[in-house]
Amino acid sequence: MAQSLDQTNQPNTRVQPLIAVRGIIRPGGVNAPIFEQDGQVVSISSGADDAGSVPVLGPNGQLDPSMIPPITGPYIVGTPGEDVQAGDFVYCSEIDGLLYLADWSAANAFQAVGFMLVTAPAGQPLAAYSTSGQDKFLNGLTPGARYYGDPANPGGVTSTLPKGAGVLSQFLGYAVSSTSIDVDITDSIVLAS
């Protein structure tokens, strides 16, 4: 089989470019099969402006890191039973196995097992959450302060020590910046008063 050579008479290992014209992708050039798509083709994401675009592999045969959510460290996937936001603290229901906002109030009392790494609607499979690491999706925190589950705000945090009969007091971690908690979830304590 004939092999194309570059200007130095070395085998041409250049990746064939994608040609996108009016929503048609032709991997490998103009004579390759046609694949139709709705968005533009991008190899590096600039964020929300590229929503709906079709990702393509880079010259190394892999997606550019800008295409992958900023998830680091160990994580677990689950399906939310209600809409959740990145940064929300959640528990896993023993009844249906779905993720719900942790609720430290006396009326409900469900302690957190982790925090969401992604925003996801109810029923979306493969929503990632973590049990440790840094929850970098918060705001208005006081660096160095201790944070607990907020009995008045399911899934939320507070630096005020929880009070009230039947309320759960659960330490979640220390704020390391105004937007991030170094998560160290402990078991909750049911308060007597």
Q: Is 144 left (phi over 0), alpha (psi -120 to 50) or beta?
A: left
Instruction: Spell out the per-residue pLDDT of the chain, length 193, in tens.
Output: 444 444 454 544 444 444 444 444 445 554 444 444 455 777 777 777 777 777 777 777 776 666 666 555 677 888 999 999 999 999 999 999 999 999 999 999 999 999 998 888 999 877 788 888 899 999 999 999 999 999 999 999 999 999 999 999 999 999 999 999 999 999 999 998 8
Check: CB of residue 100 under 8 Å from CB of residue 80.
yes
Q: How many residues belong to the chain?
A: 193
Q: At residue 145, what is the residue type?
A: A
**DSSP reduced 3-state for 140:** coil
Give the pLDDT score at 147.
98
Q: At residue 1, what is the residue type?
A: M
Check: CB of residue 165 under 8 Å from CB of residue 192.
yes
Give the pLDDT score at 193.
81
Measured distance CA(61)–CA(135) in Å, rounded: 31
All CATH 2.40.300 domain ranges in the chain, comma separated: 73-193
Q: At residue 42, what is the residue type?
A: V
Strand bridging mode 54-55 / 41-42: parallel
Domain 73-193 classification at class level: mainly beta
Q: How far is CA 120 from CA 2, 67, 163, in A?
A: 51, 17, 31
Give the pLDDT score at 2.
42
**Residue corresponding to tokens 């014209």:** 21
